[in-house]
Chain A
Amino acid sequence: MEDKVIIRTKNVNFFYGGFKALTDISMDFQSRHVTALIGPSGCGKSTLLRLLNRMNDLIDGTRVEGQVLFEGVDIYDPKVDPVDIRRRIGMVFQKPNPFPKSIFNNITYGPKLAGMTRRSDLEELTEWSLKQAVLWDEVKDILGQSAMMLSGGQQQRLCIARALAMKPDVLLMDEPTSALDPISTAKIEELIQDLKKQYTIIIVTHNMQQAARVSDKTGFFYLGKLIEYDETETIFTRPHVRQTEDYITGRFG
């Protein structure tokens, strides 16, 4: 079970209109591991992340070639409903984006849409997800208040809790700490370590120390290509490709 592959991309190309953003990406993501995607801005790592739960569908004029297999099923098959995919593959964004609703309604937004209606179930789920995101103690008395009143770090943990409330299999994180201060960042990193026991986490980060601290495997992207993909330790101590070494040692990027 340890090394089970949950998501596999096969020769994926991705286009924004005429611009080719990803070239021939073949990658395996292991279940209950943290995989970090690193690389300079515009290298396609966020694009790849958003491809995995079909968020790129929302942008006009994009096109995917190749296959993205989630538990063996190609999620770009016309028979697959992106809504089902997004319920099982959650996402946390770069900028904390709670809805301008109460904390409780933020957490229960997804589950309600998925058909959960009993108040007691929703309350239980809220407590469970907030505890998972280590936010429960801070907000348990103010669940009815607007999520906008929380600090940035709290908002981001709320967004993680909101994603977890869907009980997804995979959690995609797009630079989840880039807008946060170091203390909030440390909390989120700690949380990622906890969560990987139950979830598969794929994280895009600009922060190389962060990739080194939290991930098991790391993929380095450059100009839309996967340059090197290996155990995080290998990538950061003895990378095989010159470009990777240059990037992680700060010689470019």
Chain B
Amino acid sequence: MTRTFKEQIIKRVFFLFACVSVLILGLIVAFLFREGLPIFGIVSVREFLFGHEWYPTFDPPSFGIWPLIVGSFIVTFFATLIAVPLGVLSAIYISEIAPPAIKEIAKPVIELLAGLPSVVLGFFGMVVLAPWLQDTFDLPTGLNIVNASIMLALMAIPTISSISEDALYSVPREFKEASYALGATTSETILRVIVPSALSGISTAVILGMARAIGETMVVLMVAGGAAAVPESLFDSVRPMPASIAAEMGEAPFRSDHYHALFATGIVLFFLTLAFNLVADYISHKFKEVGSGTL
């Protein structure tokens, strides 16, 4: 066997492996559409997306996922509100302020949080946070928006923190030195030079953290309470889209309307996460030219 022939074979083999994941993704998407689209023969896209009533097992059933969409967005929004300051500030601390000894502990601990199985977090929300919320605020249930948002925030923090930290770390040392040499303090340098230079990476981190929160299933299934109604208060229960799919798929008869409606909900979710990823991609490319002096 000649050397070039070997090279060719190796190249082909790697190409095949690379194709596998792309192919699988394509097949999943095709399957998702095949199983989801038939629902639009029964309800219009408008009714499906903006209908206020999700009663898939009633007779006649109604397939309006608006309460589920609202549920998803509201927990994602509040989770982001909690996770962004915590994630970004801890990234700034770890990358710019922490002495090496603390850095070496804090960084892996935060990354470990990402490795925590979501069912464990959900369990914690159910058994610890929910009773506490119920007692403290005198609520009918502790499984609600607040609980779900806090748990989702815990899941999003490691994503936001580690991607932000990479972005901060890759700010050229020259910028920091220039700032210090002009008589800036550490906090001025962080605030005026380092964070602005890393802003595109930090934005990407935030959006990927949000994508993680909106797609997360187990936590919201366990702690969001599961009420398919548009919430009126922060202590109301909601039923985000992934929770609805996971909870009902086992009950829905194969290729029934309910089954198709759940797949269509999956399509909506797919487009949402796709949109988040595209925005993240766009932001990270748009500000990419921020580099050190080019000659």
**B174 at the binding interface (Cβ < 8 Å):** yes
At the interface with chain B, which of A80-88, A131-139, A218-226?
A80-88
Q: Encode A143-185 as 1/0 by CB contact (under 8 A) with B.
A: 0000010011001100100110010000000000001100000
Which A residues are in CB contact (< 8 Å) with B289? 148
Chain B 154-196 interface residues, beta-carbon cutoff 8 Å to A: 172, 174-185, 188, 192-193, 196
- Inter-subunit contact A99/B178 (CB<8 Å): yes
B100, B177, B196, B290: the one within 8 Å of A97 (CB):
B177
Chain A proximity of B153: nearest CB distance (Å): 31
- Inter-subunit contact B180/A86 (CB<8 Å): yes
**B197 at the binding interface (Cβ < 8 Å):** yes
Which B residues are in CB contact (< 8 Å) with A86? 180-183
- Inter-subunit contact A109/B177 (CB<8 Å): no
Q: Encode B281-295 as 1/0 by CB contact (under 8 A) with A.
A: 000000001111111
Q: How many residues of A contact B (CB 8 A)?
A: 33
Which B residues are in CB contact (< 8 Å) with A163? 181-182
- Inter-subunit contact A97/B174 (CB<8 Å): yes
Give CA–CA (A197, B291) in the complex, Å. Answer: 34
**A95 at the binding interface (Cβ < 8 Å):** yes
Chain A 88-114 interface residues, beta-carbon cutoff 8 Å to B: 90-91, 93, 95-101, 109-110, 113-114
**A55 at the binding interface (Cβ < 8 Å):** yes
A109 touching B292 in the complex, CB below 8 Å, given contacts A58-B177, A93-B177: no
Q: How many residues of B contact A (CB 8 A)?
A: 26
- Inter-subunit contact A109/B181 (CB<8 Å): no
Which B residues are in CB contact (< 8 Å) with A159? 178
Which B residues are in CB contact (< 8 Å) with A53? 181
A109 touching B293 in the complex, CB below 8 Å, given contacts A93-B174, A95-B174, A97-B172: no
- Inter-subunit contact A109/B100 (CB<8 Å): no
- Inter-subunit contact B182/A55 (CB<8 Å): no
Give CA–CA (A95, B295) in the complex, Å. Answer: 9
Q: Which residue of B lies closest to A96 (CB)?
A: B293
Between B174, B182, B291, B292, the greatest number of chain A beta carbons within 10 A of the residue's beta carbon is seen for: B182
A90 touching B294 in the complex, CB below 8 Å, given contacts A97-B174, A99-B175: no
- Inter-subunit contact B179/A109 (CB<8 Å): yes
Q: How many A-B residue pairs have CB under 8 A?
A: 85
Give CA–CA (A11, B182) in the complex, Å. Answer: 27
- Inter-subunit contact A109/B291 (CB<8 Å): no
**A60 at the binding interface (Cβ < 8 Å):** yes
Q: Which residue of A lies closest to B99 (CB)?
A: A60
Chain B proximity of A146: nearest CB distance (Å): 9
Give CA–CA (A166, B172) in the complex, Å. Answer: 23
B181, B184, B293: the one within 8 Å of A148 (CB):
B293
Chain A 36-53 interface residues, beta-carbon cutoff 8 Å to B: 53
Which B residues are in CB contact (< 8 Å) with A179? 293, 295
Chain B interface residues toward A at CB < 8 A: 100, 172, 174-185, 188, 192-193, 196-197, 289-295
Chain A interface residues toward B at CB < 8 A: 53, 55, 58, 60, 83-84, 86-87, 90-91, 93, 95-101, 109-110, 113-114, 148, 151-152, 155-156, 159, 162-163, 166, 179-180
The 28 listed contacts between A and B (C-beta, < 8 Å) are A53-B181, A55-B181, A58-B176, A58-B177, A83-B185, A84-B183, A86-B181, A90-B182, A91-B177, A93-B174, A93-B177, A93-B181, A95-B174, A99-B193, A100-B291, A109-B192, A113-B182, A113-B183, A113-B184, A113-B188, A114-B183, A148-B291, A152-B294, A155-B293, A156-B293, A162-B178, A163-B182, A179-B295
With contacts A109-B184, A110-B184 known, what are 18 further pairs, Cβ within 8 A?
A: A53-B181, A58-B177, A86-B183, A87-B182, A95-B174, A97-B175, A97-B177, A99-B193, A100-B197, A101-B196, A113-B183, A113-B188, A114-B183, A148-B290, A148-B293, A162-B178, A163-B182, A166-B183
